[in-house]
Structure 1
């Protein structure tokens, strides 16, 4: 019985030690805490930020692919920030995949203008 308790304790110790090593991707809360004016959206549980260099849309030949959704809510509240929520984009803005199926780069189209957003990933 004592061996079981010791092994259980060691297992829990290893499990909790390993979980802290795995980095988490940024959340709306962490991003908006650093920059309350950040232009972000959430899709597929990832936070995307408006690319500073919109010219990369042209340079890297990003072309609008399949539609993946629309913005459902515009908010700066980090409480329950969900997929298809954005801080600056108006409700109804269409979100598209890119032609090269880069899941970490998406295109938002507003009034015919295409805007590039890049995923914020940890590590």
Structure 2
């Protein structure tokens, strides 16, 4: 009887823990985000306020490529993305000094489309 109670308590704990994790957003990947240099960058390419700013950001030196398509944001590590496929190229913006993490990262897709990802310190 003691084992049954322990198993039921463990099941309840796992069930409640799963609900808390899923409702907290740790498991969601609805946003188009990438991780680089320990920072999370969000796709701002189609935002109205950014349309007039795009011309200021030119493609600089290659900084890497997407190595992991993460379905869950809790599993994110550098060069992971929620929407971009593995192998997608990432670039610094012109004017970003070597060794300094950029505010904006340019992404070149397979069909040569340029996307802009901005570091958002707090989400």
The match for 2:18 is none
Q: Could you say what secondary structure the match of 2:54 adopts? A: helix
The match for 1:69 is 64
After TM superposition, the structure 1 stretch with the greater mean CA deviation from structure 2, 35-44 or 73-82, is 73-82
Q: Structure 2 matches for 1:6-45, cutoff 5 A?
A: 33=25, 36-45=29-38
TM-score, normalisation: structure 1: 0.65
The match for 2:115 is 115
RMSD (CA atoms): 2.3
Runs of 4+ with >3 A deviation? none
Equivalent of 1:90 in 70, 85, 92: 85
Structure 1 residue 77: deviation in Å?
1.6
Residues 79 and 121 of structure 1, relative CA distance in 2, 3 Å threshold: closer
Q: Could you say what secondary structure the match of 2:40 adopts? A: strand
Unaligned runs of 5+ in 2: 1-20
The match for 2:40 is 47
Structure 1 residue 72: deviation in Å?
0.3
Unaligned runs of 5+ in 1: 1-28
